[in-house]
Homo-oligomer: A and B are copies of this chain.
């Protein structure tokens, strides 16, 4: 389902903030900032990307998976859940 019925606006705002963090990171590197400060900025960016992923994952579970046909269909609930847990595993 397209974005599980998500409203785009707050997601786009979050992504804009992440883009700002990435641009800030590039500027820190270009300005030759202290290595540990660069690492802190990367950790913050990583946290923001991960939190966005968790928010969308939650909506995906609520909106797409909960509404899928239970089993014995292509794209059924069991299959969707398996996919999402596989993806979970890549998230960190």
Write the residues of chain A forming the contact surface with B, with a CB cutoff of 8 angstroms: 1-4, 6, 8, 11-12, 15-16, 18-19, 22-23, 25-26, 29-30, 32-36, 38-40, 42-43, 45-47, 49-50, 52-54, 56-66, 70, 77-78, 80-85, 87-92
Is chain A's binding surface mostly helix, strand, loop or mixed? helix
* Interface pair B35/A62, CB less than 8 Å apart: no
A61 contact from B29, B42, B81, Cβ within 8 A: B81
Minimal beta-carbon separation of A42 from chain B (angstroms): 4
Minimal beta-carbon separation of A3 from chain B (angstroms): 5
Q: A12-B29, A22-B22 are in contact. Are A66 and B56 (CB under 8 A)?
A: no
